[in-house]
Structure 1
Amino acid sequence: MILVIFDMDGTLIDTQALITEHMTATFHGLGLEAPSPEKSRRVIGLSLPVAMAHLADTQDAVLVDQLVEAYRGHYRASLVTDASREALFPGALDALKRLNARDDVLLGIATGKGLTGVHRILGLHGVADYFTTLQTPDHNPSKPHPGMVQSAMAETGVDAAQTVMIGDTTFDIEMGVAAGCKTIGVTWGYHEPRELIAVGASTMIDRYDQLDGAIRQLVE
């Protein structure tokens, strides 16, 4: 059995503009200078408290909690007005359908999003039933700690040699490498391809129609 684990933001769904807008509103709402879109983009994939501490350059737990709650408020409000801004990247749905149809593949998620948001987005795109394991910071350390991948492997009973982590940031690749599994970097996400290669991506893809071949090359 092969376990294929996907990151969400920047890998499956295109949320960069939405996230950076909410970061700006969050920091301005607390009277703080907002991070640039580039800085916001760089922390996508981390758990929200870790990302906020980094962007605010603080270890003040009270301030971090305020930023986290304000950001979540902005995000919830946006779901009422424009839920369509969490679109799948081109080719992602077809790739998920192909993999889900295989008897020798299990699918998983490892993301910095909370579990409630993961369930909502998978339901929005009609793919909730495709995934056997969902790993989030609700019950795991933030990326790049290998905990999410380790939890996914433990839950499915698949060992590292037959596990592939797919992501767009160095956090995803470092997490997979630390867990001992193969890693596939995608070039359309939030960190530069050269950065993913530098931290140990096993291979890179430019389009989702290349994913099946990359998986076959690594674990089959």
Structure 2
Amino acid sequence: MASSFASRGILLRRLAHGLINQAALPGISKGSSQNGLSVACRAALVAETPPSKRRLFSSSSASSRVLVTFDIDGTLVEAIGTEANKMHKGAFSHALKELYGVDGTIDAVKHHGSTDKSVIKKTALHYGVSEEKIMSRWDDIAPKMLEYARGHVAHAAEGLHLLPGVLHLLKTLAARDDVVTGLVTGNLSEIAWMKMNALGIKDLFSPPYIGGFGSDHVDRGELVKIAAARAAQSIPGPSFGVRVHVGDTPNDVSAALYGGAHAVGVLTGAFEESELLEAAKGDRNNVTILENLEDSERFLSVCGLSNRS
């Protein structure tokens, strides 16, 4: 059973991500900063009971490769401070204003694990825009978001920082010739790579920088399949004997399984272990839960890879 402190950590993360009202967490003043919440969340993670070990893959053959795809927000990076995820959120607000006359923010709705265009739809509906009007400008959403992002690319990393263990893990995977890495994210492709570049980690992914993105499809499960197809087509080499997708939301878990990948759920976002496992429904043997991405040796083991260090 999780400790009371660990349960408090879940509440802190939910507060930080806007999933609950501050009144639901006694003892946290309204003046608490996002930075403060971020630190508290990480402290709570350390105190949580380590997730039970799931069944691991057998070691991959030397004649095959492993494809690892990562979600971004809540998995690789954390949004912090008053300018959290500034450029990306600005792109959402710009599209809402230009296309639907909405002067609002995506923080008004629950959107974790959603694709960018779906977030626009949820937000516009929240502000009273009809579905008919939303769909009439559906194909204009990505261009409008990119219009803003390209003009504010200097702010792509503002209000973001890498989560613990991410840099070391990406370097570890990049040094191997039996691993291909990419992204599977609800972010539009160009915005996703803007953020990775601004944070200094784009070059740790496998060129030509493949993935499945919110600009490809609104269904995250389809994005896992798209990423696998692109990797096979764009990066010559042995077939992929193992595919792994890493994310922090139930949608990431269900998408991984739908797309034929092993799901690695990380407890660095707003959801707890039980919620991530519930998304697996009857396929929990194909889900591994990790506290975070700090233990690179454990991660390699999940992928069926030996530690070469």
3-state SS of 1:162 partner: strand
Tell me by how many angstroms 1:177 deviates.
Answer: 0.1
Structure 2 spans left out of the alignment, 5+ residues: 1-64, 126-130
Quick one: structure 1 residues 22 and 108, their matched pair in 2 at CA, closer, same or farther if it must change by over 3 Å?
closer
Q: Decide whether the 8 Å contact of 1:164 with 1:184 is kept in 2.
A: yes
State the match for 1:134 in structure 2: 210
Q: Which amino acid aligns with 2:290?
A: I
Q: Which amino acid aligns with 1:144?
A: G
Give the 5 Å matches for 1:22-101.
23=92, 27=96, 30-32=100-102, 34=104, 37=107, 39-42=109-112, 44-46=113-115, 48-57=116-125, 58-59=131-132, 60-64=134-138, 71-80=145-154, 83-101=157-175
3-state SS of 1:197 partner: helix
State the match for 2:32 in structure 1: none
State the match for 1:198 in structure 2: 278
Tell me by how many angstroms 1:199 deviates.
Answer: 1.2
1:148 matched to 2:218: no
Q: Which amino acid aligns with 1:101?
A: A
Q: Decide whether the 8 Å contact of 1:164 with 1:215 is kept in 2.
A: no
State the match for 2:35 in structure 1: none
Quick one: structure 1 residues 70 and 116, their matched pair in 2 at CA, closer, same or farther if it must change by over 3 Å?
closer
Q: Decide whether the 8 Å contact of 2:157 with 2:199 is kept in 1.
A: no
Task: Supply the distance in 2 between the matched residues of 1:138 and 1:213 (Cα, whole angstroms).
Answer: 30
Counterpart among 61, 66, 75 of residue 11 in structure 1: 75
State the match for 1:111 in structure 2: 185
3-state SS of 1:208 partner: coil
Q: Which amino acid aligns with 2:243?
A: T
| TM-score calculated relative to the size of structure 2 | 0.58
Find the structure with the greater CA-based Rg: 2
Q: Which amino acid aligns with 1:50?
A: S
State the match for 1:217 in structure 2: 302
Quick one: structure 1 residues 124 and 158, their matched pair in 2 at CA, closer, same or farther if it must change by over 3 Å?
farther
Quick one: structure 1 residues 98 and 55, their matched pair in 2 at CA, closer, same or farther if it must change by over 3 Å?
same
Task: Supply the distance in 1 between the matched residues of 2:107 and 2:272 (Cα, whole angstroms).
Answer: 15
Task: Supply the distance in 2 between the matched residues of 1:191 and 1:181 (Cα, whole angstroms).
Answer: 20
State the match for 2:248 in structure 1: 168
Tell me by how many angstroms 1:216 deviates.
Answer: 0.7
Q: Decide whether the 8 Å contact of 2:96 with 2:120 is kept in 1.
A: no
Quick one: structure 1 residues 121 and 79, their matched pair in 2 at CA, closer, same or farther if it must change by over 3 Å?
same
Q: Decide whether the 8 Å contact of 1:3 with 1:163 is kept in 2.
A: yes
Tell me by how many angstroms 1:164 deviates.
Answer: 0.8
Q: Which amino acid aligns with 1:92?
A: V
Quick one: structure 1 residues 148 and 195, their matched pair in 2 at CA, closer, same or farther if it must change by over 3 Å?
farther
Tell me by how many angstroms 1:41 deviates.
Answer: 3.6
Q: Decide whether the 8 Å contact of 1:52 with 1:64 is kept in 2.
A: no
Counterpart among 245, 257, 260 of residue 180 in structure 1: 260
Q: Root-mean-square deviation (CA), in Å?
A: 3.3
Task: Supply the distance in 2 between the matched residues of 1:117 and 1:152 (Cα, whole angstroms).
Answer: 18
Indicate the larger mover: 188-197 or 33-42.
33-42
Q: Which amino acid aligns with 1:115?
A: S
Identity score, percent = 21
Greater helix share, structure number: 1
Quick one: structure 1 residues 50 and 158, their matched pair in 2 at CA, closer, same or farther if it must change by over 3 Å?
farther
